[in-house]
């Protein structure tokens, strides 16, 4: 059995699905990509048994054939070839021979019928959302996800879907990001899921790459399914109870300070040159409508100063400087509101004035 495909036909869907493939797999077949040709359609599938991605591409060939090949080797072979190059696959029981121009390669293969797939999703709630909106809300919240935290529910992105909104939340226990899209959803009850970190990263790639205006999301008790044009992503969900994020939002807004965002960001970036590597702490001192920013390390120290509005109290507080910088880089307005702790209120919140699309919470630290 043999077939021919061009590099252009192969490369784009292969780049879409390759991120799921890990170098070390419990099952050798999981390092392979399943290639299927049927009805003038090329479909590539990869899985690690937690996430499955399928990408399809229209092709000219009339053949119907299925086979597997080692994914990393295949992409290394074709990614440096011209798009018009014809790649020939000669498929035998345990080997696949690949020919491109004057080059030939011999790779191991498996029976395509042994390629695993995630279970079919049933009893799911279906919502539709603008692709760009979903991409932006994920980009502006996912940076706060935990990474290899012992509390598994922190290592992912929390989706809360109501009849009139989609809220996405991420936290690592020290900072929290909330994004909300107002839209009508055809739901009878609220639906909540936690999408694992790896699936979030792959989802972001798909949303960045795909040009389709609208995507469809299926939410079940155990799986997340996204359909976007010729690409689908299926992921198992994290089993756990996400923290009640509303409990850490400030309730006392007396200490609300208006700050020029770019001036604040530039001052923090300059001060970060001398931040102590272990604590990454920055001290903020609000006094006489001024914000003084202090950092120090064994190499030296920095002090920068900017003006604030609507605030004359004296407050001294410290934060992880990188948390503040990452938030200010996500916000886009000229000025930001900063609610600093006062009394029993221990959390600091940053947001854009008169815009509740994004809210960012950072816990203070001792330095």
For 295-319, give the secondary structure using H, E and C.
EEECCEEEEEEEEEECCCCCEEEEE
- Residue 25 in any domain: the answer is yes
Please give the pLDDT value at position 344. 53
- Residue 119 in any domain: the answer is no
Helix (H) or strand (E) holding 230: none
- Residue 325 in any domain: the answer is yes
User: Measured between alpha carbons, how far is 101 from 127 in angstroms, rounded to an integer?
Assistant: 46
The residues near 278 (Cβ < 8 Å, ≥ 6 apart) are none
Whether 216 and 322 share a structural domain: no
Q: Are 233 and 199 in contact (CB under 8 A)?
A: yes
- Residue 90 in any domain: the answer is yes
- Residue 185 in any domain: the answer is yes
Whether 168 and 195 share a structural domain: yes
The domain in which residue 259 lies consists of 250-362
Share of the chain above pLDDT 70, in %: 98
* pLDDT(197) > 60: yes
* pLDDT tens track for 228-279: 888 999 999 999 999 999 988 888 888 899 999 999 999 999 999 999 888 9
Whether 96 and 174 share a structural domain: no
* pLDDT tens track for 65-85: 999 999 999 999 999 899 899
Whether 196 and 268 share a structural domain: no
Which one of 114, 138, 161 terminates a domain?
114
* pLDDT(126) > 80: yes
Most confidently predicted of 90-94, 121-125, 165-169, 345-349: 165-169
Question: What is the average pLDDT across 119-140?
Answer: 90
* pLDDT(323) > 80: yes
Please give the pLDDT value at position 211. 66
Whether 233 and 327 share a structural domain: no
- Residue 367 in any domain: the answer is no
User: Measured between alpha carbons, how far is 307 from 335 in angstroms, rounded to an integer?
Assistant: 12
User: Measured between alpha carbons, how far is 358 from 355 in angstroms, rounded to an integer?
Assistant: 7
Whether 218 and 305 share a structural domain: no
Please give the pLDDT value at position 229. 80
Whether 63 and 41 share a structural domain: yes
Q: Please, is 348 exposed, middle or buried when counting C-beta atoms within 10 Å of its C-beta (0-12, 13-18, 19+)?
A: buried
Burial profile 14-49: b = 16 or more Cβ within 10 angstroms, e = fewer: bebbbbbbeeeeeeebbbbbbbbbeeeebbbbbbbe
Which one of 223, 246, 269 terminates a domain?
246
Whether 170 and 242 share a structural domain: yes
Count CA atoms closer than 13 A to 85's CA, side-chain side. 19
The candidate with the shortest Cα–Cα distance to 271, out of 228, 233, 311, 318, is 318
* pLDDT tens track for 279-293: 999 999 998 889 999
Which one of 246, 276, 292 terminates a domain?
246
* pLDDT tens track for 46-64: 999 999 999 999 988 888 9
* pLDDT(122) > 80: no
* Alpha helix positions (H), 31-94: 71-78
Specify the higher pLDDT residue, 120 or 144: 144
Whether 131 and 187 share a structural domain: yes
Whether 227 and 174 share a structural domain: yes
- Residue 266 in any domain: the answer is yes
How many separate helices (H) and strands (E) can be counted in the chain? 6, 24
Please give the pLDDT value at position 357. 93
Whether 280 and 335 share a structural domain: yes
CA 269 to chain centre: 24
- Residue 120 in any domain: the answer is no
Over the chain, what is the mean pLDDT? 91
* pLDDT(345) > 70: no
Q: Considering its fold, how many domains does the chain have in total? A: 3
Whether 262 and 347 share a structural domain: yes
Instruction: Identify any residues that bridge with 348 across adjacent strands, giving them in sequence order.
Output: 362
Helix (H) or strand (E) holding 5: strand 2-6
Q: What is the CATH number of the domain that holds 237?
A: 3.10.150.10
């Amino acid at each position: 059995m043999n077939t021919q495909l061009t590099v252009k036909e192969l490369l784009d869907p292969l780049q879409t699905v390759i991120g799921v493939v890990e170098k070390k797999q419990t099952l050798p077949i999981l390092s392979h990509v399943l290639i299927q040709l049927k009805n003038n359609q090329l479909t590539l599938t990869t899985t690690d048994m937690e996430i499955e991605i399928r990408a399809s591409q229209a092709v000219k060939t009339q053949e119907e054939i299925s086979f597997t090949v080692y994914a990393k080797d295949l992409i290394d072979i074709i990614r440096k070839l011209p798009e018009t190059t014809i790649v020939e696959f000669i498929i035998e029981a345990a080997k696949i021979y690949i020919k491109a121009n004057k080059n030939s390669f011999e790779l191991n293969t498996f029976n395509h019928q042994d390629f695993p797939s995630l279970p079919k999703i049933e009893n799911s709630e279906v919502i539709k959302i603008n692709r760009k909106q979903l991409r932006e809300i994920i980009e502006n919240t996912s940076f706060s996800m935990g990474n290899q935290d012992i509390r598994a529910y922190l290592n992912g992105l929390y989706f809360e879907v109501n009849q009139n909104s989609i809220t996405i939340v991420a936290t690592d226990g020290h900072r929290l990001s909330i994004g909300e899209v107002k839209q009508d959803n055809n739901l009878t009850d609220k639906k909540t899921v936690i999408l694992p970190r790896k699936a979030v990263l792959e989802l972001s790639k798909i949303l960045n790459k795909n040009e389709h205006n609208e995507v469809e999301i299926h939410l079940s008790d155990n799986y997340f399914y996204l359909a976007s044009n010729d690409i689908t992503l299926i992921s198992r969900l994290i089993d756990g109870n996400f923290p009640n994020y509303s409990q850490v939002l400030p309730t006392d807004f007396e200490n609300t300070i208006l700050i020029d965002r770019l001036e604040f960001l530039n001052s923090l970036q300059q001060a970060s040159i001398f931040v102590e590597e272990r604590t990454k702490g920055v001290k903020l001192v609000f006094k006489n409508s001024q914000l003084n920013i202090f950092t120090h390390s064994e190499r030296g120290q920095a002090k920068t100063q900017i003006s604030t509005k609507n605030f004359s109290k004296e407050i001294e507080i410290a934060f992880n400087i990188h948390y503040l910088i990452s938030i200010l880089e996500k916000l886009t307005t000229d000025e930001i509101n900063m609610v600093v702790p006062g009394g029993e209120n221990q959390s600091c919140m940053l947001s854009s004035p008169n815009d509740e699309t994004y809210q960012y919470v950072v816990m203070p630290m001792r330095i």
